[in-house]
Structure 1
């Protein structure tokens, strides 16, 4: 099911369209004193209620659309519509539900107002995110086909032309069709002129005519001509929609044309097209789209008139559309006969060109780096890996490389052998250059770590010192080691920095191995703390909140002032990430709070808005929510009651010992799709994820169940089985929705299942 929301200042036009379709059917009214009222009476009620506030978003037009071939009876469709409106916060508003049958897919239109009886405006924060969660909830409840959850890269939808729409006169059909197409075009592209708009709508059989009066005011008209005998009269833009009139569109075009980023996009694209031309000796015109897409990841379309190719149009990722001649006359196909003027010759790379040699070097560099990053044992530094590789070692990475395959495909067949020899002959030079570059980077990185250690010690971020040897904890957290008055990388002795600490008796083997990802996060966090910066590093991520779990002994020694700053930043980073992960489950602002509560986070309201706290950080630590989010939470009618309801949930998590970051980490792994790692912690470590039950169930259905089953099967020795038996109830509740009989059969540890009653009220908290 697909739900669409549109907000506007008026409702008369929308209601005329919704109620004017032939064959339309009113399924019911919401919050009307009678279901027998006339549509005209409802229109008056809706209009006057909406006029009680001057907001631009007075009215809402919602459509719920089923996929082709899916059917619902009127009663069920009305019930779904009612539940949708209640979940979206329109439960107390007047609304009308109208069913249309003018397209192949069944759908209803719902028209309502965002203005309440007392003249206040309903909060519509995050409405599209809430709509997605509500839609998914209703899909599951009523067994409807899910709509795609991810954005798809595809062409604009093909709207049904009016002559194919059932029971619609030409004028109404044209208006609705043109409105749909133009809205889609303007959302996808940053159009800069009526000429450009005319080209973009041409595939949809829409004609655009502009007029200009004596004062210079621009007008626009739209008509249809499908060249198959169906043609309509032209309709003024303002009659199609107020935002599609000439003056309104001209304002939008001017904004796009005057953007300061426009010259940058032009310059970038021109360079990319020129680089493509430099690489090729010949390009068959029909291959240009594929070549540019694969080589530069640019979408272009050939401009054809019949069978003749007149040029090409670039559809940039920025949203701008450029014709080739607009960027430069030197990239027009007509002006590059040296590349495009060779008749039907196939597309071939120029193996003598400078660009070809650069591409070979780039491909080899990529293969060397990839062979290191994807090796099962990353022993030593990248520079050390590079100098120990010969050409044969990187052949597997080379063969899997997209850039290598691209080059090989367009190298002339009679030059393929020379191409492979060229790659092999270029390898020593690339290896040497990359080795020198990485060596320089590694030295600079080690120096930066040394300087950072000095700053952290000087600022006393941690209560560590050389006397008790606890400074080694700081070394480990930054991926370095200290031996014989020398600082070096933890996994290599190649680079060193002298650090005279009087040969302190540190253990030669630094503690357990730590992921370099966490080392980088810790480095960024300590840089921020040492500089007392109030801004987060753009490279810091949500995983920063887990640093005390990775480096427990170090973060236990963090000074209170710095700890408060660290926890505030970490909370903000995690909340920002979690908001995106929760989006498909968040039907309301109340859900927003509930989903975070299940994770061990809770909200308090202060003078400046809402703050978030957690069971993993100090009680005095908090992070301010953005103003818009605070307004969103404040829109909950009984927000004070909802905030109080957080207490027992949070207290229950603490009472069960689930205020350990590992419980949050398990859920984090699950949300990231790392089911094998999560399954290990669930089975062997007996951890329980702090996640809402609905989210857990989704991950179980998506593959976690199978990963847990495999993890259990891998356990063989007695100690591992003992750990499994200890956590059997937690696992069985994940696997089979707490089904007593199924759990007993599944887990295979019947000797442990002696008394189910003692588990009825234990271990099934809100986060589980």
Structure 2
């Protein structure tokens, strides 16, 4: 199902279209005193309520569209519409649901107002993001086909007969279609002129005509012509939508045209395209789209008119659209006939070119780095790994490289042996250069760590010292070690920094090695705290909140003042990530709060807006939401009740012992799709995720259930099987299963070694 929302200042034209369509059916009215009112009476009610406020977005026009071939009856479609409106925040507003049958896919139109009876405007935030979450919820609840995740090209709907249509027909379906397409184009691209707009909408069969009044006012009109018998008269832009009038669009075009970033985008594209030309000896014109996409990730469209190729149009990631001739004469295909004028000769790379040599070097560097990162026994530094590698050692990584495969594809067969030989000949020089670069970088990194340790000790961020060797905790958390008055990397003695600390008493066994990712996050966090600067806060990820779990003994010794700063910053980093993860499930502002509550976070209202606190940090620590974000939960009608309702949920998590970072980490693993690591925590370590029921169900359906099945089917020990089955049963109880019936759902996990009755008491029910 696809849901579309358009906000507007008037509703007359929309209602005329919705009620005027031939064969339309009114499925029902929402929040009106009777279901027997006339369309005219409803229009008056909606109009007068909407006029109680001067906001430009007074009215909302929503369409819910099923894919072709899918059918639901009128009663069900109205029920779906009711639920959609309730979740979107329009539940108490007057609205009408009208079903149309003029297209090959079944759909309804819903018209309502954003103005409440008291004249205030509904505080509807994130409406398009929430609409997607509601749509997904309704698709699952009613068994509807999910909307496609990839963008598709809209096709012109045929409103009646495939013959020329004029007059009032253009005022109905055509106007809505024009709004839909033109608004989408202006959101997707930074259009700079009416001519450019005309080119972009041409494939949608829309024609753009500029007009000029007697006073010199620039206007615009739109019409449809699919060159197949369907044609409309031109409609003034202001009649289609207030934002699509000539003057309004011209202002937008002027802003886009005068952007200071525009020259930079042109320069980047010019360099990328010239680099591509330098690499190739021949490019068959029709291959240029694929070559630029794969080599430079540039989207282009060839401009072909009557079988004559006139050039190409570039659809840049900056949302600007450029003609090739805008970037420079030298990249026009007509001016590079030595590359494009070879008839039907196959596209091929010039192995004698300088650019080819650079690509060979990049490919070898990539293979050397990949071989280090994917090494099962990653020991030592990258420079040490590079120094020990031979060409034969990186061949598997070379062959798997996308860059290598791209180069080989466009090298003539009779030159491929020479290509591979060039790789081998270039390897020693690339290895030497890369070794020197990494050596310099690693030396600088160790010196930075040494200086950071000094700052941390000087500021007293942690209560560590030389007595009892507690300073080792700081060393380990930064990926370094101390021995014989020397500081070096944990995994290598290649570089040293003299540090005269004397003989320190370290335990015989240090803590387990931790990933470089957590060491890097800890380094960034300590830099920020020691320098009292927020410069590194943007580099911190959600994993920053888990540092006390990874380095528990160190963070237990943290100075209370610095701990408060750390927790506040870590909370902010986690919340930003969580908001992105919650998007597919967040149907309303209440869901926004509920999804965080399930993870152990709760909201309080303070003088500066909403503050977020957690069960994993001190209750005095909080992170203040940005002003715009605070307005979102602030729009909840019964906000006081909602905030009060957090208490029992949070209290239960704490009572169940679910206020440990391990519980949050287990949920993080599930959200990231790392089901193998999650299964280990669930079954072996008996750690359960703090996640909302709906999120857990999504991951169970998305592959977690299948993964657990596959693991259990493998030949494992009896004890492992029992633990895995306990984990699966625990997840089922998490989703609300009960008793014998629930057990039978999972009878595929039974075997002769397992008696489920023994383990039911061991399964922890998760609070969601």
Scaled by the length of structure 2, the TM-score of the pair is 0.95
Cα–Cα, structure 1 residues 367 and 716, in superposed 2: closer, same or farther, change >3 Å? Answer: closer
Distance in structure 1 (CA, Å) of the matches to 2:725 and 2:288: 62
Distance in structure 2 (CA, Å) of the matches to 1:658 and 1:635: 30
Where 2:469 maps in the other structure, the secondary structure is: coil
Where 1:220 maps in the other structure, the secondary structure is: strand
Distance in structure 2 (CA, Å) of the matches to 1:583 and 1:728: 26
Cα–Cα, structure 1 residues 449 and 320, in superposed 2: closer, same or farther, change >3 Å? Answer: same
Where 2:467 maps in the other structure, the secondary structure is: coil
Cα–Cα, structure 1 residues 611 and 263, in superposed 2: closer, same or farther, change >3 Å? Answer: same
1:316 alignment partner in structure 2: 316
RMSD over aligned Cα atoms: 2.3
Cα–Cα, structure 1 residues 325 and 7, in superposed 2: closer, same or farther, change >3 Å? Answer: same
Where 2:642 maps in the other structure, the secondary structure is: helix
Task: Answer yes or no: is the 8 Å Cα contact 2:17–2:173 preserved in 1.
Answer: no
- Note the C-alpha offset of 1:198: 1.6
Distance in structure 2 (CA, Å) of the matches to 1:365 and 1:275: 19
- Note the C-alpha offset of 1:341: 2.1
- Note the C-alpha offset of 1:720: 5.7
CA deviations on 1:532-567 (whole Å, 9 max, x unpaired) are: 124553221001111100000000000000000010
Q: Tell me, yes or no, if structure 1 residue 493 matches structure 2 residue 493.
A: yes
What are the within-5 Å matches in structure 2 for residues 182-193 of structure 1?
A: 182-193=182-193
1:521 alignment partner in structure 2: 521
5+ residue gaps, structure 2: none
Cα–Cα, structure 1 residues 254 and 755, in superposed 2: closer, same or farther, change >3 Å? Answer: closer
CA deviations on 1:458-477 (whole Å, 9 max, x unpaired) are: 10000000122101000111
Cα–Cα, structure 1 residues 164 and 351, in superposed 2: closer, same or farther, change >3 Å? Answer: farther
CA deviations on 1:112-131 (whole Å, 9 max, x unpaired) are: 11111111111111212222
Distance in structure 1 (CA, Å) of the matches to 2:721 and 2:410: 57
1:753 alignment partner in structure 2: 757
- Note the C-alpha offset of 1:73: 1.0
Q: How many matched pairs?
A: 761
Distance in structure 2 (CA, Å) of the matches to 1:575 and 1:405: 40
Q: Tell me, yes or no, if structure 1 residue 766 matches structure 2 residue 763.
A: no
Cα–Cα, structure 1 residues 418 and 714, in superposed 2: closer, same or farther, change >3 Å? Answer: closer
5+ residue gaps, structure 1: none
Q: Tell me, yes or no, if structure 1 residue 90 matches structure 2 residue 90.
A: yes
2:29 alignment partner in structure 1: 29
What are the within-5 Å matches in structure 2 for residues 479-558 of structure 1?
A: 479-507=479-507, 510-534=510-534, 536-558=536-558
Task: Answer yes or no: is the 8 Å Cα contact 2:693–2:734 preserved in 1.
Answer: no
- Note the C-alpha offset of 1:639: 1.1
Where 1:547 maps in the other structure, the secondary structure is: helix
Task: Answer yes or no: is the 8 Å Cα contact 1:683–1:712 preserved in 2.
Answer: no
Match of 2:157 among 156, 160, 164: 160
Task: Answer yes or no: is the 8 Å Cα contact 1:733–1:743 preserved in 2.
Answer: no
Which one is further off, 8-17 or 742-751?
742-751
CA deviations on 1:297-342 (whole Å, 9 max, x unpaired) are: 1011111111111111111111111001111011111111221222
Which one is further off, 554-563 or 746-755?
746-755
Which one is further off, 211-220 or 98-107?
211-220
Where 2:632 maps in the other structure, the secondary structure is: helix
Cα–Cα, structure 1 residues 53 and 735, in superposed 2: closer, same or farther, change >3 Å? Answer: closer
Where 1:252 maps in the other structure, the secondary structure is: helix
Where 1:468 maps in the other structure, the secondary structure is: helix
What are the within-5 Å matches in structure 2 for residues 124-139 of structure 1?
A: 124-139=124-139
1:676 alignment partner in structure 2: 676
Scaled by the length of structure 1, the TM-score of the pair is 0.95
Task: Answer yes or no: is the 8 Å Cα contact 2:50–2:115 preserved in 1.
Answer: yes
- Note the C-alpha offset of 1:17: 1.4
Task: Answer yes or no: is the 8 Å Cα contact 1:284–1:345 preserved in 2.
Answer: yes
Distance in structure 1 (CA, Å) of the matches to 2:207 and 2:728: 68
Which one is further off, 687-696 or 721-730?
721-730
1:693 alignment partner in structure 2: 693
Distance in structure 1 (CA, Å) of the matches to 2:392 and 2:713: 38
Q: Tell me, yes or no, if structure 1 residue 335 matches structure 2 residue 335.
A: yes
Cα–Cα, structure 1 residues 241 and 504, in superposed 2: closer, same or farther, change >3 Å? Answer: same
CA deviations on 1:24-83 (whole Å, 9 max, x unpaired) are: 111111111111111111111111111111222211111111111111111111111111
Distance in structure 1 (CA, Å) of the matches to 2:460 and 2:445: 22
What are the within-5 Å matches in structure 2 for residues 374-523 of structure 1?
A: 374-507=374-507, 510-523=510-523
Cα–Cα, structure 1 residues 205 and 134, in superposed 2: closer, same or farther, change >3 Å? Answer: closer
What are the within-5 Å matches in structure 2 for residues 98-117 of structure 1?
A: 98-117=98-117
1:280 alignment partner in structure 2: 280
CA deviations on 1:621-676 (whole Å, 9 max, x unpaired) are: 11101112221111111111111111111111111111111111111000000000
2:7 alignment partner in structure 1: 7
1:365 alignment partner in structure 2: 365
Cα–Cα, structure 1 residues 467 and 182, in superposed 2: closer, same or farther, change >3 Å? Answer: same
Task: Answer yes or no: is the 8 Å Cα contact 1:159–1:181 preserved in 2.
Answer: no
Task: Answer yes or no: is the 8 Å Cα contact 2:185–2:200 preserved in 1.
Answer: yes
Task: Answer yes or no: is the 8 Å Cα contact 1:483–1:506 preserved in 2.
Answer: no
CA deviations on 1:684-716 (whole Å, 9 max, x unpaired) are: 011111111221122112222233345556796
Distance in structure 2 (CA, Å) of the matches to 1:19 and 1:736: 45
Where 1:501 maps in the other structure, the secondary structure is: coil
Which one is further off, 584-593 or 650-659?
584-593
Where 1:191 maps in the other structure, the secondary structure is: coil
Distance in structure 2 (CA, Å) of the matches to 1:173 and 1:244: 17
Q: Tell me, yes or no, if structure 1 residue 70 matches structure 2 residue 70.
A: yes
Distance in structure 2 (CA, Å) of the matches to 1:408 and 1:186: 40
CA deviations on 1:180-206 (whole Å, 9 max, x unpaired) are: 322222122111011111212222332
Where 1:753 maps in the other structure, the secondary structure is: helix
- Note the C-alpha offset of 1:736: 8.9
Where 1:27 maps in the other structure, the secondary structure is: strand
Distance in structure 2 (CA, Å) of the matches to 1:560 and 1:88: 43
Where 2:384 maps in the other structure, the secondary structure is: helix
2:202 alignment partner in structure 1: 202
Distance in structure 1 (CA, Å) of the matches to 2:557 and 2:714: 38
Distance in structure 1 (CA, Å) of the matches to 2:390 and 2:664: 44
1:590 alignment partner in structure 2: 590
Where 2:522 maps in the other structure, the secondary structure is: helix
